[in-house]
Structures are given as structure tokens and as C-alpha cells.
Amino acid sequence: MSKKLDRRSFLKGATATAAASSLGFPALVNAAGHGPTTLKVQAAWGGGIFLENAQSYVDRVHAMAGKDLKIDLLPVNSVVKTSQMQDAVHRGVIDGCHYVPAYWYSKSKTASLFGTGPCFGWSSQEVLGWVYYGGGQELFDELMGSLGLNIVSFFNSPMPAQPLGWFKEEIKDASQMNGLKYRTVGLAADVLLEMGMSVVQLPGGEIQPAMKSGLIDAAEFNNPTSDKDFGMQDVSKDYHLGSFHQSQEFFEISFNKKKYDALPQELQAILKYASEAENSNFYWHNTNRYADDLIKLQKDHGVNVHRTPDSVMKEQLKAWDIVIDRLNAEDPFFKKVIESQKAYAERVMNYLNLNQPDYRMAYNHHFG
């Protein structure tokens, strides 16, 4: 029998996870008589599947680095608030953090393009392809330099498109969205404001209580597993899948650049390539869990799962056009990143769209 998780049990479980991680890797002494390098890394997650994902990255680092490098993974708010994590890494208060760029895009809206930007017909997989092979990492490093941040970041874990989310009634047309108080983060907030919604940006653990109290009318977080753990099925029975508001996102793992540069090159490489290894594991592991938990939401909790109407998604694309044009005019660097993304997406998606068969056709053939 599954046990419902509330926010308090999230935090309690996360503390236990962090303690177990610490106890599992006692101080070791290497041949030279020195202890291992230990990096204190705070996650933006208090528990649930995203903290598991952060731990999975840490486990890969430990497996490759052996006694030479240890990561002390700390759950949300252990040292600083999530909104302060990037500054804390910059200053060296903590050595690293595990989060998403949308959590710090208030410094620069360009940050949201690294994971929560507009959809140019691509998924998270292709956006990460742009990061690694289309000049995205170089543009990100340039952004870090322009902001004067003493940080080096790696990206991993291509998330499936985020659901439109939870509503008090089924959404059958875009007109029903107008005036709704809705929770989201990053540039998605700008997009949904263009659609006439009233947007509230809340941490994950505050979403369900806000909807229960009537502070918001609708909300999204990220995926069926996290939504189920937050208890969204207790405040809504209408769950909409499919959306362009955050159709591609991934994790950012950041380290203090001075601390990172001081590491031996082989340890730097481990931090980088553990990120790439976790990239594949995340997608295989999480999509399997999301699929199972979507079925549980339907069968065990009576949730009505709907495909978001095309009318809503077409209005989202129009809203994205308005937001992009406005920010292009305001910020030349934002425009530079957008142009780089569009060039990559046009070229790569042209090949994929021509080559990929209609997977839904095959699915319907076998499963109806």
C-alpha cells in the first residue's frame, strides 16, 4: 500500500536521505594521508523523485571518483532558501546546488531559455543537444560571465513536457483560461499572463495548500509522480496533459567555479561526465515512474486525465511569439540565444520530422 506524502513527510524523508548519504561515506584517508575532497551541494528538493534524481547523480560521482571526491547532498533549505542557492554557490557558502534555471531567471530572463523557453518543435532531448553541440553551453557560459557569477554549470535529465496541470473543471477551450489564478514559474509566467491568466509563482510544497485554500484556481508542477506525492489529486480531479508553457526542461547542477577549477582535471571530468550519465538514467527511470503513477491517479484516486485541447496550445504558441518579440527588442543577448536555438531546431527537427514514423499510429494499432 502506498503512503500519501505531505510536505512535512517530504522534508523528514529528505533529511533522512541526506543523513544516510553522509553516514554511507565516512571520511576516508588516501595514500598521501589526506582526506577526500568533499563538496556540499544543496538541492532544491525536499523529497520525492527529484531528490532521488539528485542522489542518483551523486552516486555516479562516488562510483567513479572512489575515495578522492565526495558530495554531501543536502535537501531543500538546509543552508539557504532555494531562491538564494545560486548566490550561495557564487559566494562559496555552499559548493554546489541542484535545481533548474527557471528558479533564478529573475536575474536574467535569458536563463529561462536554458530549459523553460519556447518550443520550436523540439523536446528536451533536442534542447540538450543544442546545449552540448549547438553552442548552447558557450552561450550559457557567456551569460554567467556577463552576470559576474563565479559558477560553472552542467545540464542533464531531459524532462517530458510538463502537464498543463490541475483545474477545478475540464478545460475544453482556451477561453476558459482567461482570469484563472494559476501557478507556474519562469518565462511560462509571462506567456500565461499574455493569455489573460493571473500567475502566482510558488514553491512546489506550497502548491497544493494554495489550491486547497482557494489562493489559486489551477496549477502545474512537473509530472504525475511529483503531483501525486504533493496530493494534488485531493484538491482536483481534472488533470490536463500536454502543454507548450514548459514543454522542455532539465536540471542544472552548479558548482562554485573557483572550487571546481581547483580540482584535479580528472575530478572535474567526473563531475561533468556523471551529469551526462545521469542524463540517460533520468529519462529511462522517470518516464517509467510517471507512467505508473498516472495510472494510479486514475485508478486509485478517480482523477480524470484529459489531453489539453489544441485551442489552448495554439494560444500558447501565439503568446510565446509576443513574449519572444518583446524580449528580443529589450535584450540583444536574449535575441542572440533565441536565434541560435531556432537555427539548431530548424535544422535538426527537419531531419527528425522527416525521418520519424508516426508513433501514435503504431500505438493505436496495438492498444487502441
**Per-residue pLDDT averaged across 45-70, rounded?**
96
CATH no. for residue 268?
3.40.190.170
Each residue's pLDDT tens digit, 218-227 = 999 899 999 9
**Per-residue pLDDT averaged across 253-264, rounded?**
97
For residue 313, the model assigns a pLDDT of: 95
Handedness of CA 271, 277, 282, 285 (dihedral sign): negative
Residue 361 inside a domain? The answer is no
In Å, what is the CA distance from 353 to each residue of 65, 284, 349, 356? 40, 22, 6, 6
Residue 124 has pLDDT above 60, yes or no: yes
Residue 64 inside a domain? The answer is yes
Nearest to 111 by CA among 100, 119, 96, 122: 100
Nearest to 89 by CA among 139, 138, 153: 153
Q: Which cell goes with 180?
A: 484563472
Range of the domain at 284: 18-158+249-288
Which has the higher per-residue pLDDT, 330 or 17? Answer: 330
Could you give the number of structural domains in the chain? 1
Residue 315 inside a domain? The answer is no
Length of the chain: 368
For residue 20, the model assigns a pLDDT of: 38
pLDDT band at 326 (very low <50, low <70, confident <90, very high): very high
Residue 21 has pLDDT above 80, yes or no: no
CB of 223 closer than 8 Å to CB of 163:
yes
For residue 296, the model assigns a pLDDT of: 98
Residue 109 has pLDDT above 80, yes or no: yes
pLDDT band at 36 (very low <50, low <70, confident <90, very high): confident
**In the predicted model, what is the mean pLDDT of the chain?**
90
CB of 234 closer than 8 Å to CB of 208:
yes
Residue 71 inside a domain? The answer is yes
pLDDT band at 203 (very low <50, low <70, confident <90, very high): confident
Residue 22 has pLDDT above 60, yes or no: no
Each residue's pLDDT tens digit, 276-319 = 999 999 999 999 999 999 999 999 999 999 999 999 999 999 99
**Per-residue pLDDT averaged across 172-190, rounded?**
91
* Amino acid at residue number 152: V
Distance CA(29)–CA(13), nearest Å, equals 30
Residue 16 has pLDDT above 80, yes or no: no
Residue 56 has pLDDT above 90, yes or no: yes
CA 124 from centroid of its chain's CA atoms: 10
For residue 366, the model assigns a pLDDT of: 98
CA atoms within 13 A on the CB side of 111: 22
For residue 259, count CB atoms less than 10 angstroms from its CB and return exposed for 0-12, middle for 13-18, buried for 19 or more.
middle
For residue 9, the model assigns a pLDDT of: 41
Residue 13 has pLDDT above 60, yes or no: no
CB of 297 closer than 8 Å to CB of 172:
no
CB of 161 closer than 8 Å to CB of 246:
yes
Residue 264 inside a domain? The answer is yes
**Per-residue pLDDT averaged across 115-123, rounded?**
94
**Per-residue pLDDT averaged across 46-61, rounded?**
96
pLDDT band at 75 (very low <50, low <70, confident <90, very high): very high
Nearest to 166 by CA among 243, 240, 244: 240
For residue 32, the model assigns a pLDDT of: 39
Q: Which cell goes with 119?
A: 518550443
**Per-residue pLDDT averaged across 44-50, rounded?**
93
**Per-residue pLDDT averaged across 76-80, rounded?**
96
Residue 8 has pLDDT above 90, yes or no: no
Residue 98 inside a domain? The answer is yes
Tracing cell 482523477 back to the chain, one arrives at 303
For residue 35, the model assigns a pLDDT of: 67
Nearest to 132 by CA among 150, 114, 106: 114
CA 15 from centroid of its chain's CA atoms: 21
Residue 111 backbone phi and psi in degrees, to 5: -55, -35
Residue 191 inside a domain? The answer is no
% of the chain with per-residue pLDDT over 70:
90
CB of 337 closer than 8 Å to CB of 187:
no
CB of 316 closer than 8 Å to CB of 242:
no
**Per-residue pLDDT averaged across 252-267, rounded?**
97
Residue 333 inside a domain? The answer is no
Residue 238 has pLDDT above 90, yes or no: yes
